[in-house]
């Protein structure tokens, strides 16, 4: 897979990364065999994936430990991204956001220990902390870069004003936010800003939390631990209304001899050469399907038709509950 470049400092990664969160939380009961998950992560490396995304809050903490163990034998072949920005109580329960300088330093030391590495390749602020000036956040990360604990700085779910202010203090390598045919809001302001500043874009949930794969039905029941059970966009009523997006993608997939998920990922790859989506999976067969998107060529006309058709579809339901939406920087 031909490498893509993120940010003004030239971080090179494969065109499709790996979102590791689902191996520890969010999409139903966690897999019982840790070794199976390590096997999937190492299979991803064998197939050319280089960017692996985790965070201290995934689990919390256990996802970083899993990723660190899995990638230890291939450390020199991969780019490990993790995140700070949440606060936790003594039991490890998430209690809010915090990006105070001392919180960042503590989080980074913990992440380095759990990952078993000396330097974090890409460090994101997970959510913007409105009580701490972003200049202080960027300045602290700058100091961590100078100390050799971090290589590159990223933001997650940040608005354009925050991006600009942070970038003026410490160059931002990548923004991570949701973006897909199921959620195109970043196109209005975020993507033009990233293009202007030379910042890379790492979309999470590029398959719409499974919706764009065509495997989620309007009548499906989400089991314990599956966050989709609490997402407004995934109520049975809204899923029925949102089926039009899946039908659109499936129509293109059938014509191309591909899967809906591959079309959704190929659309993202075709949008900009500095976009690197990070789908997640627990299965090698899904990993291979996702990576197959790099071989699927969508012409400019294909992309334009998907753009136009999806723009005419009104996606029903917010992507997060109200409390989670309140954490998003606008």
**Kind of pairing between the strands at 172-178 and 94-97:** unpaired
Q: Provide the angle, in degrees to the nearest 10, between the axes of the packed helices 236-256 and 300-311.
A: 160
Contacts of 188 (CB under 8 A, 6+ apart): none
Tokens of 110: 């913990």
Q: Are 169 and 139 in contact (CB under 8 A)?
A: yes
Residue of 58, 61, 124, 179 marked catalytic: 58
Per-residue CA distances from 121 to 182, 205, 306, 327 (Å): 29, 21, 34, 25
What is the phi/psi pair of residue 200, to 5°?
-75, 165
* Angle subtended at Cα 41 by Cα 37 and Cα 42, rounded to the nearest 5 degrees: 115
Using CA atoms, how far apart are residues 261 and 279, in angstroms rounded to an integer? Answer: 10
Q: Is-catalytic flag, 61? A: no
Active site residues: 58
């Amino acid at each position: 897979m031909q490498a893509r470049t993120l940010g003004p400092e030239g971080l090179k990664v494969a065109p499709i990364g790996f979102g590791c969160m689902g191996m520890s939380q969010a999409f139903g009961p966690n897999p019982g065999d840790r070794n199976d998950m390590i096997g999937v992560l190492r299979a991803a490396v064998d197939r050319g994936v280089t960017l692996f995304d985790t965070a201290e809050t995934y689990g919390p903490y256990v996802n970083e430990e899993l990723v660190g163990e899995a990638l230890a034998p291939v450390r020199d072949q991969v780019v490990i991204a993790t995140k700070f920005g949440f606060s936790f109580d003594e039991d490890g329960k998430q209690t809010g956001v915090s990006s105070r300088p001392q919180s960042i330093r503590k989080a980074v030391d913990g992440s380095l220990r759990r990952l078993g590495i000396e330097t974090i390749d890409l460090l994101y602020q997970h959510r913007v902390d409105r009580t701490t000036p972003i200049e202080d956040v960027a300045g602290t990360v700058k100091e961590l870069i100078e100390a050799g604990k971090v290589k590159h700085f990223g933001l997650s779910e940040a608005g354009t004003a925050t991006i600009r202010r942070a970038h003026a203090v410490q160059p931002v390598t990548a923004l991570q936010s949701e973006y897909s045919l199921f959620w195109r809001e970043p196109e209005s302001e975020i993507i033009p800003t990233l293009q202007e500043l030379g910042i890379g874009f790492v979309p999470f949930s590029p398959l719409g939390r499974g919706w764009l794969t065509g495997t989620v039905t309007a009548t499906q029941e989400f089991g314990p631990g599956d966050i989709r059970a609490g997402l407004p966009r995934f109520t049975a009523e809204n899923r029925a209304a949102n089926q039009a997006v899946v039908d659109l993608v499936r129509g293109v997939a059938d014509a191309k001899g591909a899967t809906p998920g591959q079309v959704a990922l190929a659309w993202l790859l075709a949008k900009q050469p500095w976009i690197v989506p990070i789908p997640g999976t627990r299965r090698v067969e899904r990993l291979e399907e996702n990576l197959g998107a790099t071989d699927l060529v969508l012409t400019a006309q294909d992309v334009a038709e998907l753009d136009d058709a999806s723009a005419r579809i009104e996606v029903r339901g917010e992507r997060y509950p109200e409390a989670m939406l309140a954490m998003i920087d606008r």
